[in-house]
A and B are shown apart, each in its own frame.
Chain A
């Protein structure tokens, strides 16, 4: 299935490479760049041959040249430069999301159906319903403009580790939270249900009657068996976070691959768009597959069909 999917994506957009090039040939100024791109993309060859060569290059990590002006830097360099920033952002976002979701859902599950839980359910619902671009503006307004706690600019040349406004670690907190809040709400909804189910198991009753404190039961007895589906969701959500990072990177001016793809789309720079879409889709599929696999590995109690049920929850937010 995955191969078929990959083939599909490889084959389809390549037809469109012809479009802009054919249109640009009339323009003498960019003729040289086009010739270069032509050579790079084997545009003088037949379609199947071109496709297979391009795919082969791609697999080897050569993504060709950009259409823009001089064709420099090559797409692979661009990605090499920008991918780490996106990965840093996503790692921070994921950490924040998990850090929020676990105490949040333990709190909600321990008071299931009481007021705290109801409030938290409504909050989670609201967070899920706020699109990431709206979240970005809201957080930016309150934490950067009104409260002035966090820096409003991202500077790619600043050092990463450190705790002042001139370090990227701090500069990434706001974008990280933007991505994380929606994700945390999703995690909370899942983990809360799982925790409530676990809390009714006999071993919880046993631990409580032995005199283990409530907090200890929650965090060390109940949490662990409830984490299975969350771990899977984490893996799946990495894929969805890439979608969110498009907006976040664009808004907070982080030069990662998300903003690269948006810029390239506006410039009609197809090799860049194509390479990034390919890369992201491949990553997405790998993580999806991994999640499926992981799920059956860590929790053999559950039949494989369950993974289908859980995974779908994440696809709500695109």
Chain B
């Protein structure tokens, strides 16, 4: 990296490579301190989808499990009489079914929203698991240092050195396919990145004056960890947690697409799977594309929010060094 970077380039917001000693242009500085319209759009979408998902049972949506078969007057091919005969689903989007129906004439809008319940739950549980376990481990490692730090860091590195999805499949294969198992499996995958971030942040903050002041005043270690360090570590951790949510939703979707996710419930991945067969896709592409749109918007929103927030709070140590 060169030290004489004075040209007006935007230090790409999306890359985690800090350009060392780069003098900031005014425009870039301004850009950095604004979250931008995209951020609020993403927030809006996430609030909306979360609201819909949480309150889906009480909101006036169609029943996601009912088959809304449409009948029309048609000639019976055998008897030749006019009578009410079912129309072959899937039905295209209409005023009745805003986003169309699937092959079983179930309303896709309400199915997607109900799918969001599981997908978002998996994402949230994963992030919570990662933040609690990873955060605790990382902070302990960063604050107490020494042998404890060595052991915890080793655990993180080992778990980072496996391909996540393969590991998830292995665990899912060996255990059952309940919501808890899947969330914990994905949660374990989130522990290491979050933990490493927490460790790095704790390391850098524990050398700051306010921690020293607290230590001099005789505060207990647990108090310093919770009252002094935790608030500082929490923000960077939550920006990463958003990314982990996005990853978890994708991972759950992938498992569902492979038929390995929560059994019996229709998550986005499974909805996409039902619409992805050659015949359905040819006749009724919306069956796959509607849940895909939901999934994409949600994942992109989480990604983008995490990205903007990291810039906003200037979280640089996210991509901490390996030791």
Taking Cβ atoms with an 8 Å cutoff, the residues of A that contact B are: 1-2, 4-5, 8-9, 13, 16, 19, 112-113, 121, 124-126, 128-134, 136-138, 140-141, 145, 152, 189-190, 192-193, 196-197, 200-201, 239-240, 242-243, 246-247, 250-251, 261-262, 264-266, 268, 270, 273-274, 277, 280-281, 284-285, 288, 305, 307-313, 315-318
Contacts and interface: CB of A to CB of B under 8 A. Distances in A.
B12 A192 contact: yes
B319 A125 contact: no
A317 B250 contact: yes
Interface stretch (B79-87, B108-116, B152-160): B152-160
Contacts of B303: 125, 128-129
Contact of A134 (B193, B251, B296): B296
Contacts of A240: 163
Nearest to B197: A312
B9 A315 contact: no
B224 interface: no
Given A112-B10, A315-B193, A129 B300 contact: yes
B319 A312 contact: yes
Contact of B157 (A1, A284, A313): A1
Given A280-B166, A318-B250, A200 B9 contact: yes
Given A133-B253, A134-B292, A197-B2, A284 B9 contact: no
B254 A247 contact: yes
User: Interface size for chain B: under 10, 10 to 19, 20 to 34, or 35 or more residues?
Assistant: 35 or more
Contacts of B253: 131, 133-134
B95 interface: no
Interface stretch (B46-54, B231-239, B281-289): B281-289
B19 A121 contact: no
Interface string B139-171: 000000000000000100110111111110110
A308 B320 contact: yes
Q: Which of B4, B17, B282, B295 has the most CB of A within 10 A?
A: B17
Contacts of A132: 254
B198 to A, nearest CB: 15
